[in-house]
Each structure stands twice: as structure tokens, then as C-alpha cells.
């Protein structure tokens, strides 16, 4: 890792994109003049990254009480997805009896639900990036209430399975969009703790669902378990009305927040639809997964979380067949998951920040995103040990408390791993917070989808000791991916550049607004021409995956041009003027490879600025 000094403070404050590439610095003493001119926490301990705007509309400026109310509500909504999925695991037996089907057949509904839960997050971030957070959350939560009621009232397996699949497509709005809300509301130094809180509810939910359902189906019909899910989802739907729209573009045009109803229904965000373009939002998850560090993390997480779900979905069968547990007894046994997740949450609450502080003290106050992965190594080893012991415990019928202890250890380890990888991806790609969070959710649930399909047959054919031993070996082998990221992660991120989602250009003439043609990042050369006496422009160009785009701006005979929020990594910007005379660069910063200013006749250079994304060029005809 390169431990260079903090980047120079410009008029635009701290460049979060550069911090993500080179490492974050939050200690004010590491900045020139003790970070004078930068906003810090009230106690002066941390520099705020990103720097909030001077407006109450910026969610970063909201009160701590409002922020944490949103966090707790989102955590509850995120909790419900796997809670209802866990409920369906326990209802398999009474449903198979009622519909005269095999348990394997009924389990298809569980598998289908797992797959669509993973897909839901990707759909959520696409829609939330275009329509806003609130309208998407309101719609998805309303559908979840309806599909939970449908699951409870289903009179045939076909109807029930359809309800579960559709439920999965809408129930994960809290899980898939969790990092969106966290990035909207909190500063860099707060991310690990907030992620840890929300992930606590997410990881605990597939254990609390079966726990409560075991007690329900012991005394009443299985349908009551889903009526409870319906009531809990209805509460979440009502809680949505206590939230507020957090989508706020600090680099683009801000629109008035308007009324609460306008924010709830998406009318406020509709003012920006022409600038966002739906296809651009739909491409964001695809751009995100093309980043090698993201793909590596997803593979690692799938290879680890799959076996947690595998144990969770089959532990009830082992306990009833080999240990003679009743349904109520299995319910009590599921406390192992609750205890394990609580231990993992408490450990992570202190350990993630402690590791980060230790790393910064050894690297000139700079925290590289890869530092978040240090804690993953011991947690992965504990997962391996847990799987090995669980395999032998089931094979040789060891005491069930051995199973409880090591299954809880597996949960604790996975809780720590989940927070660490989410924090890593958010640090690496703050501009793609929702996208990386959605892919992590997909990886978790698709891993569970795979494990649910293969676990029972695998264990039956090979025996628990060998099957879980192979799973432990796969888990240990996945550490190779972490080593790759520790050694080459920063270089990979520099090579591929940022997640450049946008490719729209806009021009403001005086007080009016006019839209120019789209600039396509896949073109060899993109041209953009403006007219008028004084032009204020904002230009955003996508140039990912090693594509180099030469952006050429011909300003004709305009005397004054101001370009702000330019973003085109690995690109060259050329400004051509019909006027000759001196050129003044007022301020500049960023990631253009070069910015060159030419006369229109003879291509004579009359000014040049390197490494810039924000530039104001004044042409003086003399």
C-alpha cells in the first residue's frame, strides 16, 4: 500500500473518490493546518468524509436521532426477508402432510424464495436510483404484506409456491438497499458500526424465524406462522411513513425537497428523471460487478455463507432423526443462532474499529479499504473449525450441546465476515454503495439457494463428516481470494478506475436549462459543443474497463466558460477556443489524465492543466 500524505485540500473540500483509491484520512492532525477549513465531528476527532453541503436538505446534516430512527426501521424491514424465509423451512412438514406431497417437493418453494430474495436487491437499487428511495420502499413493502397474506391463505401448493417466489422478489428491499441508506446518511468513520447493526438483524433473522415457527406449529396450524409474518410486514409498511427521502446528489443539481407527499410518492425525484435516464440506472449493477474486487468478494462470500445456510436448513432434520427432538425441542435449539449472532455483533462492534485504528497508526493515519479484510482471516478459520466439528458431531452422534456451541461459533464468524466485506466494498466504491450491497445480498442468498439444493443429498451419500469436511476445505481455500485482495486490491482498483455510471451532459445557459446530446463512454471520441456568451456546464463521462475516451469541447467564441464536476477517469479533455489570448485556470482537481486548451487555428496550445476534474477556464480576448 502507498502511504502518501493526504491529498491537498481544494475549494471543493475532500475528494472522496481519490480517498477511496489512495486511502482515507480522518485524523485532522494529518492535514495541513490541522484540517482548517474542513468540517469535523463536534469533538474535532474526525474529519468528515464526505464533506456535507451547507444545507439542511443534505441527509448528512440530519440529526443523529433522525438518522438512527431510519437505521432501526430499515434494520427491521431487512430482518423480515429471511425471517419469513426461515418460517417456511419449518412449515414444510405440516404442508407436505396437508397437500400429500413429499418434503422435497414442498422445499422447492423455499429454494425459489431464496433465489428471488437474492434478485430483489438488484431490482431495488435500479429503481431506487431512478425513482428515489421512498416510493420504491413503499411499493415493495406493500407487495410483501400482500404476498405474506397470500402464503397464509394458499389452498394448494402451486398457489403457495407462487406466493413465496413473488414474495422473494419484493421482500428484500431492506437487505438489498441497506448500504444505500447507510451511505446516504453516515460519514466514512461511522460506516462499520452502522453496517454491523443492520447486518445483525439480517443474519439473525433466518434463526429467529424457525425458532418462533417451531412453537407456533406445535400448537396451531402452520398458516398462523404466515399470518404472523403478515402482521409483522404490515407494521413495517406503517413504519415506512416515518422515514424520509435520503437520495441527494451532492455533485449534481439539487431540487427543492418539496412536500412530504412529494418525497414519498417520488414526485420530487421526478424533476431529475431526464438527467438520470432509466437505462443508465439499470446498467449500474452491471458496471459494479465488472470490478474485479467486487467479483472476488462475491465469490468468497458465496463459498462461505452457503454452508451456514446448509447447516441451518438441515439441522432440524438431523436433530429429529438422530436425536429424537420434538418440534418444540428444535425451536429451543435454534437459540444457538441467536446467541452466536449476538456474540458476533458484540465482537464486531469494537473489533472493526479497533483494527482500523491499529492499521491507521501504522500507515501515517491512512486507512486503505483492504484493512477492513484483516479481521476476515481469523473469522474464516473459525468457520472451518466449526464445520469440521459439526461434521464429526453428526457422524458420531456427539452430545447435542457440541453441535449448539460450534453452530453458534459458525454464526458468530459469519456475522463478523459479513460486516467486514460490506465495509470493504463501501470503502472501495462509495459511488456504488447500493450496487455492491445488492450483489452481496444476492451472493448470500444464491449461496443458500445452492446449498439447500445439494446439502441433503450430499450428506446422505457421503456422510456428515466427509461432506462438511469438504465444505470446510472450500471455506479455507476461499482465503486465497482475500490474500489476492490484500496484495493487489489497490492496484486492481487503480487499473480499473471508479464505477463511472453517468454519461449525460447538461448545459445551463443563464438561468435556463438545455440538454445536450448524450456522450457515450464506448465511443472513441465524444464531442460536445455549446453556444452563448457565458456558459456554465457540467460534464459526466463513463470510461470504465480500460476504455480511453478523448472528450473534446469546442466553445467557439465564448469569452467565459465554467466547467464543474467533471468526471472521466483515464480520459483526456481538450477545450478548443476561437479566441486567442491568455487563459486563467481558477481552480482544478481530480482524475482527468490531462486538460488542454487550444486555439481553434493551428491547434496552438494556450493553457494546460493535468489531473483535474473541476476546472474554471476564463478566456480573455485581450
* Cβ 206 vs Cβ 336: under 8 Å: no
The angle that helices 191-219 and 335-362 make with each other, rounded to 10 degrees, is 170
The pLDDT score that the predictor gives to residue 617 is 36
Quote the pLDDT of residue 253. 63
Do the beta carbons of residue 521 and residue 542 sit within 8 Å? yes
**DSSP 8-state code for residue 4:** P
- Residues in contact with 436: Cβ distance below 8 Å, sequence separation at least 6, in sequence order: 179, 288, 294, 422, 425, 426, 428, 429
Which pLDDT value is given to residue 585? 35
Phi, psi of 511 (to 5 degrees): -100, 0
**128, 434 Cβ separation under 8 angstroms:** yes
Q: Which residues touch 134 (CB under 8 Å, ≥6 apart)? A: 240, 243, 244, 245, 263, 264, 265, 266
Mean pLDDT by 10 residues, the chain (622 residues): 47 65 82 78 86 86 93 94 90 90 85 88 89 91 96 93 94 88 90 93 91 91 95 96 85 72 80 72 88 95 91 83 86 91 93 91 88 94 95 91 94 94 92 90 89 82 90 94 92 83 34 28 33 34 34 44 39 47 37 44 38 34 31
With beta carbons less than 8 A apart as the criterion, state whether 337 and 403 touch. no
Dihedral sign of CA atoms 4, 48, 295, 194 in order: positive
Q: Which residues pair with 552 in a beta bridge?
A: 527, 574
Domain-wise residue ranges, the chain: 1-51, 59-496, 505-619
The residue whose grid cell reads 409456491 is 161
Distance CA 170, CA 120 (A): 6
At 512 the pLDDT is 24
Q: Which residues have CB under 8 Å from 252's CB, separation 6+?
A: 272, 275, 538, 565
- Cα(535)–Cα(556) distance, integer angstroms: 11
Radius of gyration over alpha carbons of the chain, in Å?
Answer: 27
Q: What is the DSSP string of 222-244?
A: THHHHHHHHHHHHHHHHHGGG--
Among 80, 252, 108, 244, smallest CA distance to 167 is for: 80
Q: Do 582 and 620 touch, CB atoms closer than 8 A?
A: yes
Return the pLDDT at 502: 52
Q: Which alpha helices (H) appear in 463-552, and where do they start and end?
A: 464-477, 479-496
CA distance 136 to 138: 5
For residue 13, give every residue at least 6 positions away whose Cβ sits within 8 Å of its Cβ, in sequence order, or none. 38, 50, 51
Q: What local confidence, expressed as pLDDT, does residue 1 receive?
A: 56
The dihedral region occupied by 419, where left means phi > 0, alpha psi between -120 and 50, and beta the remainder, is: alpha
Pairing of strands 366-367, 24-25: antiparallel
In the DSSP assignment, the letter for residue 277 is: -
Predicted pLDDT at 420 = 94
Closest CA to 77 of 123, 138, 153, 152: 138
Cα distances (angstroms) measured from residue 310 to each of 257, 263, 316 = 46, 41, 11
pLDDT for 274? 66
337 and 312 Cβ atoms separated by less than 8 Å: yes
Range 59-496 has CATH code 1.10.357.10: no
User: How many other C-beta atoms are found inside a 10 Å radius of the C-beta of residue 279?
Assistant: 8
Amino acid at each position: 500500500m502507498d502511504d502518501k500524505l493526504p491529498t491537498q485540500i481544494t475549494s471543493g473540500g475532500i475528494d472522496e473518490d481519490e480517498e477511496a483509491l489512495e486511502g482515507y484520512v480522518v485524523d485532522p492532525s494529518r492535514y495541513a493546518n490541522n484540517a482548517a477549513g474542513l468540517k469535523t465531528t463536534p469533538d474535532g476527532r474526525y474529519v468528515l468524509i464526505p464533506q456535507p453541503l451547507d444545507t439542511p436538505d443534505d441527509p448528512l446534516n440530519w440529526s443523529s436521532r433522525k438518522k438512527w430512527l431510519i437505521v432501526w426501521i430499515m434494520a427491521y424491514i431487512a430482518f423480515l426477508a429471511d425471517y419469513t424465509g426461515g418460517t417456511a423451512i419449518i412449515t414444510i412438514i405440516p404442508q407436505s402432510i396437508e397437500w400429500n406431497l413429499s418434503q422435497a417437493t414442498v422445499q422447492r418453494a423455499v429454494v425459489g424464495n431464496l433465489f428471488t430474495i437474492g434478485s430483489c436487491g438488484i431490482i431495488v437499487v435500479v429503481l431506487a436510483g431512478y425513482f428515489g428511495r421512498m416510493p420504491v420502499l413503499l411499493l415493495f413493502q406493500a407487495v410483501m404484506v400482500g404476498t405474506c397474506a397470500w402464503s397464509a391463505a394458499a389452498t394448494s401448493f402451486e398457489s403457495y409456491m407462487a406466493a413465496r417466489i413473488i414474495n422473494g422478489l419484493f421482500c428484500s428491499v431492506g437487505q438489498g438497499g441497506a448500504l444505500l441508506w447507510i451511505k446516504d446518511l453516515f460519514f466514512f468513520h461511522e460506516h462499520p458500526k452502522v453496517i454491523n447493526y443492520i447486518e445483525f438483524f439480517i443474519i439473525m433473522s433466518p434463526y429467529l424465524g424457525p425458532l418462533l415457527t417451531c412453537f407456533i406449529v406445535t400448537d396451531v396450524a402452520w398458516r398462523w406462522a404466515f399470518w404472523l409474518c403478515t402482521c409483522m410486514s404490515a407494521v413495517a409498511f406503517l413504519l415506512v411513513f416515518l422515514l424520509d427521502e435520503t437520495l441527494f446528489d451532492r455533485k449534481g443539481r439539487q431540487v427543492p425537497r418539496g412536500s412530504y407527499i412529494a418525497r414519498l410518492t417520488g414526485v420530487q425525484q421526478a424533476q431529475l428523471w431526464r438527467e438520470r435516464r432509466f437505462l443508465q440506472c439499470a446498467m449500474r449493477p452491471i458496471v459494479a460487478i465488472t470490478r474485479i474486487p467486487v467479483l472476488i468478494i462475491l465469490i468468497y462470500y458465496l463459498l462461505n455463507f452457503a454452508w451456514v445456510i446448509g447447516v441451518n436448513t438441515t439441522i432440524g432434520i438431523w436433530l429429529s432423526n438422530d436425536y429424537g427432538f420434538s418440534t418444540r425441542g428444535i425451536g429451543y435449539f435454534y437459540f444457538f443462532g441467536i446467541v452466536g449472532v449476538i456474540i458476533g455483533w458484540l465482537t464486531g462492534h469494537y473489533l472493526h474499529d479497533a483494527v482500523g485504528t491499529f492499521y491507521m497508526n501504522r500507515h501515517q493515519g491512512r486507512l486503505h479499504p483492504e484493512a477492513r479484510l484483516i479481521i476476515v482471516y481469523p473469522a474464516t478459520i473459525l468457520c472451518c473449525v466449526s464445520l469440521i466439528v459439526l461434521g464429526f458431531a453428526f457422524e458420531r452422534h456427539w452430545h447435542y450441546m457440541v453441535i449448539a456451541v460450534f453452530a453458534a461459533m459458525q454464526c458468530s464468524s459469519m456475522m463478523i465476515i459479513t460486516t467486514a466485506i460490506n465495509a470493504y466494498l463501501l470503502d472501495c466504491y462509495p459511488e456504488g454503495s447500493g450496487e455492491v450491497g445488492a450483489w452481496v445480498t444476492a451472493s448470500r442468498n444464491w449461496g443458500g439457494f445452492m446449498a439447500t439444493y445439494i446439502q441433503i443429498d450430499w450428506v446422505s451419500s457421503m456422510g456428515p463428516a466427509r461432506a462438511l469436511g469438504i465444505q470446510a476445505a472450500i471455506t479455507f481455500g476461499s482465503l486465497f481470494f482475500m490474500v489476492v485482495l490484500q496484495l493487489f486490491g489497490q492496484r486492481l482498483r487503480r487499473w480499473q478506475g471508479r464505477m463511472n455510471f453517468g454519461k449525460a451532459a447538461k448545459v445551463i445557459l443563464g438561468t435556463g436549462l438545455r440538454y445536450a446530446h448524450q456522450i457515450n463512454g464506448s465511443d472513441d471520441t465524444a464531442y460536445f459543443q455549446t453556444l452563448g456568451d457565458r456558459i456554465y456546464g457540467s460534464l459526466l463521462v463513463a470510461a470504465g474497463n480500460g476504455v480511453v475516451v478523448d472528450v473534446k469541447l469546442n466553445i467557439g467564441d465564448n469569452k467565459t466558460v465554467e466547467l464543474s464536476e467533471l468526471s472521466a477517469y483515464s480520459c483526456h479533455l481538450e477545450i478548443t477556443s476561437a479566441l486567442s489570448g491568455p487563459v486563467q485556470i481558477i481552480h482544478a482537481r481530480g482524475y482527468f489524465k490531462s486538460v488542454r486548451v487550444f486555439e481553434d487555428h493551428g491547434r496552438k496550445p494556450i493553457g494546460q492543466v493535468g489531473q483535474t476534474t473541476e476546472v474554471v477556464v476564463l478566456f480573455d480576448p485581450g
